[in-house]
Structure 1
Amino acid sequence: MTDIRDLTPHMRRIRLAGEDLSRFAKFGGMHIRMLFPTREVPDPLWPVLGGNGLPVWPADDRRPVARVYTIRALDVEKGIIDVDFLIHTGESVGSTWAMQAAPGMKVGIMGPVGRPVRQAEWYVLGADETGLPALARLLETLPAETKGVAFVEIANDGERQKIANPTRIEVHLLTRDGVAAGEDRRLAEAVRSVAWPQDGSAFGWFAAEAAAAKIVREYWRDTLGLAAIRRWRLPIGGVALPD
């Protein structure tokens, strides 16, 4: 770990440094599996590659805890990976680690994991803070001619952050303003209200608390008849569907 920066009161960006990071750019390079030390296992042993190509994990008393996070930015030449962490109360290995992070600390990473987003001419995107790093990464890497609409739910105006969006996707911010995360239905309802184009290729992507993801998933699948549901391997509920 080489750098720590608070983007908002509850979003912390941590820069990781390593060698030979080119494999993390494969398959769209959206997500990694991070391996965290914990209070119970402060000095874990990292898994090694077995003869069958699968990881061989240490015994439980030396095993790190694994969680999936988004690669917010990757620079293979400089050997750095940026990962954004939502800082919040409650039982969260990643958030707890990020709050205590300091330059020089070590963490393990594996991957990349997950599937790349299907290329399309038009997108509908939705995320709360848990899915925001991935949604922001999409906005910053999709082709400039891409059209569509994106909805981002945040706690309040203090959680706004800059996203370099070169696309033609319209971004709308929704603030909960005191409503607890997972209890505000406006994000799911906003995504459900979007009229999909009748021509051209289109793709829907959603990453948020499980209750909101369930609403969107069932609407896209059961009401609109969209197919090929895929769950994103994020630490939250999520769904992505092509037309």
Structure 2
Amino acid sequence: MLELLDEMRMHLNIDHHDTVSLIAQFVATQQTGERGSAAPIEASDIEGLRSGDSHGSIEAVDADGLDVAIGSHARGHRRCIRHSFSAPCSSVDDVSAEFHSLLQAARAWIGDALPLTSFERELAVGHLRTFVTRVGDVRDITPNLRQITFEGGLDDFVSIGGDQFLYVLLPPPGRSELTVDAGFSWASYEAMDPADRPVGAYYSVRAWNPATRRLDMWFVLHGDDGAASSWAQRVEPGSPVALWGPRTAYDPPATTSSHLIVVDETGFGAACAVLDQLLAADPLATVHLLAEVGDASGRVDVPAGPRVTVSWLDRGGAPPGSTSALVDAVRDTAVADDVYAFGAGESRRITEVRRHLR
């Protein structure tokens, strides 16, 4: 968990430094405000964040909180501050939820004085919705991949296609009823009693049927390793659930001539959804799919096209992320200069793939 959290920390510092600076400035003002609340916004805070003079970083993340640093290029000083989470986290998804609520608190503090940061634009904070729905059907695709269909409460859902994904909000551990409604946000999450907070994780949409208003997701079954996996293993039709989103990351530029998709079981749903969209727009799209699987029994039917190549990489029963099969296959694959690569899988291996391609 600590290794994955450190990867998250590096990703945020490198790709979303403006968001991290906002959070660091907000955390710093909490130390000077009354009873842990943030101090009023100073004009210098706003100007520093706008100009980039105020630069923040996440120095460390663990189950109990994060350490941030905030500095000023002009004044040359740097402060390190500890932010404690509202409750100890038992998974990376718990930490992600704490980060979401912290970001919304920082946005509430600074208001419209600062334009949306890069991570906020990616999240479309304030525009994503919560859909309260229920399980309509459960069907096993492979021995360890389960399709769960959601129905009801989705009349206003608008599909954004591609690898669209949502945060699946589940009842708190040991409970069967949802503790959230359609008004849920990460700001409200922070205000909830820890015992009432939903658990969950991000999942991609395999298929959306606008005629029936039903939505399919694929869940990897790996025992009780995670609240969502444990839920998916036991869920029955009629079970309540909420979905927050959708968001998407898949965004190839218009100049793309070929596509490289790199996934393990956790990314099969996203890969098939992306292929559906690509082939609907261009039946002759050039795509190479590298798909890692535990063994042959885990293979799925993949949308086919005359220029779609699928390479199955069997781990021989080894756990996901425990072999170098994916990154080795990418290293052995010839790619065009204008290839667009999309990856979804075990974090450490996808990080290696990204580093190699860059």
When normalised by structure 2's length, the TM-score is 0.56
CA distance in 1: counterparts of 2:277 and 2:166, whole angstroms: 17
Is 1:97 aligned to 2:231, yes or no?
Answer: yes
| 1:205 CA drift (Å) | 1.1
Instruction: Give the structure with the higher percent helix.
Output: 2
Instruction: Give deviations 1:43-102, integer Å, cap 9, x for gaps.
Output: 33215538xx87633332222113110001001221100011000134211111111111
User: In the TM superposition, what are the counterparts of 1:19-98 in structure 2 within 5 Å?
Assistant: 19-26=153-160, 28=162, 30-49=164-183, 56-57=188-189, 58-98=192-232
Structure 1: unaligned runs, 5 residues or longer: 222-243
Aligned residues of 1:14 and 1:84 also touching (Cα < 8 A)? yes
C-alpha RMSD of matched pairs (Å)? 2.2
Aligned identity (percent) is 24
Worse-matched range after superposition: 39-48 or 134-143: 39-48
Q: Does the aligned pair in 2 maintain the 1:27–1:112 contact within 8 Å?
A: no
Give the aligned residue type for 1:70: S
**Residue 186 of structure 1, CA deviation:** 1.6
8 Å CA contact retained: 2:163, 2:274: no
Give the partner amino acid of 1:197: A
Following superposition, the deviation at residue 217 of structure 1 comes to 1.6
Query: Quick one: which amino acid aligns to residue 131 of structure 1?
Result: G
Q: CA deviation at 1:137?
A: 1.4
For residue 19 of structure 2, what is the aligned residue in structure 1? none
Q: Which has the larger Rg?
A: 2
Q: Give 2:267's match in structure 1, choosing from 106, 115, 131.
A: 131
Which amino acid in structure 2 is aligned with residue 137 of structure 1?
Answer: A
Distance in 1, matches of 2:304 and 2:164, equals: 17
Between 1 and 2, higher relative CO (CA 8 Å, sep ≥ 6) is seen in: 1
Change (3 A) 1:115 1:23: farther
Counterparts of 1:76 and 1:89, CA distance in 2:
32
Three-state SS of the structure 1 residue aligned to 2:321 is coil
CA distance in 1, matches of 2:163, 2:330: 26
1:149 aligns with 2:288: yes
- Structure 1 partner of 2:342: 205
Report the Cα offset of residue 185 of structure 1: 0.8
| Separation of aligned partners in 2, 1:31 and 1:167 | 28
Contact 1:142–1:167 at 8 Å: present in 2 too? Answer: no
* Partner Cα separation in structure 2 for residue 142 and residue 177 of structure 1: 31
Matched, 1:220 2:357: yes
Secondary structure at the aligned position of 1:2 is classed as strand
CA distance in 2, matches of 1:205, 1:29: 10
Counterparts of residues 158-197 of structure 1 (less than 5 Å): 158-166=297-305, 168-197=307-336
Compared with structure 1, are the counterparts of its residues 48 and 3 closer, same or farther at alpha carbon in structure 2 (3 Å cutoff)?
closer
Higher mean displacement: 118-127 or 6-15: 118-127
Unaligned runs of 5+ in 2: 1-134
